[in-house]
Structure 1
Amino acid sequence: MAEGVGPLVRRSSLRQQIADALRDEIITGRLQAGRHFTVKQIAETYGVSATPVREALVDLSAQGLLEVEQHRGFQVRQFTAEDFRTLTDARTLVVNAAFRRLAEHGMGDLPDDAIASVRRRAEAAARAARAGVLDVLIGCDLRFWGELSAMGGNPHLSEFLDRVRTQAWIYAVPHLRSLPDLAGVCWAGHVELVDAVAARDTAEALRLTKEHHTHTRALIEKLAPAHP
């Protein structure tokens, strides 16, 4: 049995590596919305066989990042302004509901090491936002919210929030890149939010979540008219 496991594990790992690389290309806008490509093109780009590429592209399609074009290949999904509004509404509603549930049942004991890890993510995200380093901000922000939501102990909630936050970033990035200087433009309240959670201050956590929602929506809706 052991002899048959190795190739499967390597293929699975390669599949995940390709999916992660393409996901990063899509989120940061290097693979732009509406871009068409085939399995063969991606396989040649990465110098691998078609099978793990096809599997990775199917995974990304399931995450809502790609659309399958029958007999043609794949296309990077194009999100609209309405998509962005509904995505940001959805993530805010879910996060608020999670904080309110914690308030009703008590925040409970949050492990110090988990709080410390999330705070490190928060500090990195806030630094990137203040400096205007968009690619770094995207990665730090996604990891921050991923770890923060995971503290609630519900993996389905974490998976949903990662999905909608990723899709919202995909819509927002091209608009943000239209600005000559992003320093101090994006929301940078990550550390304050961690402090509120650590202090079991649900009201402050809800206020900061609302602040994030309002700031982000206003910023992108201001930029969006230049990029239909």
Structure 2
Amino acid sequence: MPGSSGNGAVTRSTLRQQIADALRDEVLAGRLQPGQEFTVKEIAEQYGVSATPVREALVDLSAQGLLEADQHRGFHVHEYSLDDFRGMIEARSLVTDGMFHALDAGHRVFKELDEPRTAAAVAGVRRRGEEAQRAATAGDLTVLIGYDLRFWRELSLLFGNPYLADFLHRLRVQTWVCTVQHLRRITDLRGSLWSAHPEVADALYRQDTATARELLTDYNGHYLTLIEGLTAD
């Protein structure tokens, strides 16, 4: 029956996304290490599901640059280099600078705060920034990554271009995958993690893109210096 077939497709699609999200979180948490190999069968058994949604999820993560397919063997977590990290920072900066330029050019993102939905969205971004700041100050990398991704996702969506938001989110996930393997070598991360998310939100709310750019330059420089030092050890 058409209805049953549709429901099955929706269920499989949802399961595919759930598995992809779970595996991405495993990589970000450092439980799946760069170069670590696994098969569709192993993941299917781990989650107690059929092979089809697992294979689809792994293909999705490969397309996002988080995994690599090993012909006839399975998949492994992609290993990023320091040059990869530098390239990601540059690409990410070009995207965010484009957002700031749009604001300079009169984008209405923060000019409709009387509209309840916009006001709530802006307040939500600020709250994500505060949570990210608390996690960074406490040295809780796992919580920080979650709120950092949500902060930038929700902030970029305010500009009304879902393609830009998706692209920036993918870049930020890849950047965290690249850095987490190094950051988890630090026993106590308190004082080592950038924590000025609320200041970025406040600067953009004031349409002070000069300050926002300075904060992002500090953000990128902070992590680039940190990762360069860790990879040199």
TM-score tier (shorter): over 0.9
Aligned to 1:42: 43
Asked whether the 8 Å contact 2:34–2:181 carries over to 1, the reply is: no
Question: Following the alignment from structure 1 to structure 2, what is the Cα–Cα distance between the partners of residues 155 and 4?
Answer: 29
Letter in 2 for 1:39: V
Residue 163 (structure 2) aligns with: 156
Q: Does 2:22 correspond to 1:15?
A: no
- Counterpart CA distance in 1 for 2:186 and 2:71 is 37
User: Using the alignment, how far apart are the partners of 2:15 and 2:98 within structure 1?
Assistant: 37
Q: Percent identity?
A: 54
Counterparts of 1:15-34 in structure 2 under 5 Å? 15-34=16-35
**Aligned equivalents of 2:54 and 2:186: distance in 1?**
34
Cα-to-partner distance string for 1:63-118 (whole Å, 9 max, x where unaligned): 11111111111111000000001101110121012202210224543521111110
Give the SS at the match of 2:105.
helix
- Residue among 149, 170, 179 paired with 2:186: 179
Distance 2:192 2:137 in 1: 7
Distance 2:15 2:178 in 1: 28
Matched with 2:232 is 225
1:115 alignment partner AA: V
- What is the Cα-based RMSD across aligned positions, in Å? 1.2
Q: How does 1:23-172 map to 2 (within 5 A)?
A: 23-107=24-108, 108-109=111-112, 111-172=118-179
**DSSP-derived class of the 2:68 partner:** strand
Q: Distance in 1 between matches of 2:181 and 2:59?
A: 24
In structure 2, distance between residues paired with 1:30 and 1:18: 15
Residue identity opposite 1:113 in structure 2: A
Rounded to whole Å, the distance in 2 between the matches of 1:148 and 1:184 is 25
The amino acid across from 1:201 in the alignment is D
Partners of 1:164 and 1:5 in 2: how far apart? 33
Letter in 2 for 1:188: S
What code does the residue aligned with 1:202 have? T
Q: Which residue of 1 aligns with 2:206?
A: 199
Q: Does 1:188 align with 2:191?
A: no
User: CA separation in 2, counterparts of 1:12 and 1:88?
Assistant: 32
Where structure 2 has 5 or more consecutive residues not aligned to the other structure, the ranges are: none
Task: Please say if residues 28 and 138 of structure 1, whose CA atoms lie closer than 8 Å, have aligned partners that are also in contact.
Answer: no
Separation (CA, whole Å) in 2 of partners of 1:83 and 1:109: 38
Structure 2 counterpart of 1:57, which letter?
L
Residues 78-87 or 161-170, more deviating: 161-170
Cα distance in 1 between the residues matched to 2:173 and 2:214: 22
Q: Distance in 2 between matches of 1:73 and 1:28?
A: 21
Gaps of 5+ in 1: none
SS at match of 1:74: strand
TM-score by length of 2: 0.93
* Structure-1 residue corresponding to 2:221: 214
- Report the count of equivalent residues: 226
Q: Find the residue that maps to 1:33 and give its secondary structure.
A: coil
CA–CA distance in 2 between the matches of 1:112 and 1:216? Answer: 31
* CA distance in 1: counterparts of 2:63 and 2:6, whole angstroms: 26
- 1:216 Cα offset (Å): 1.4
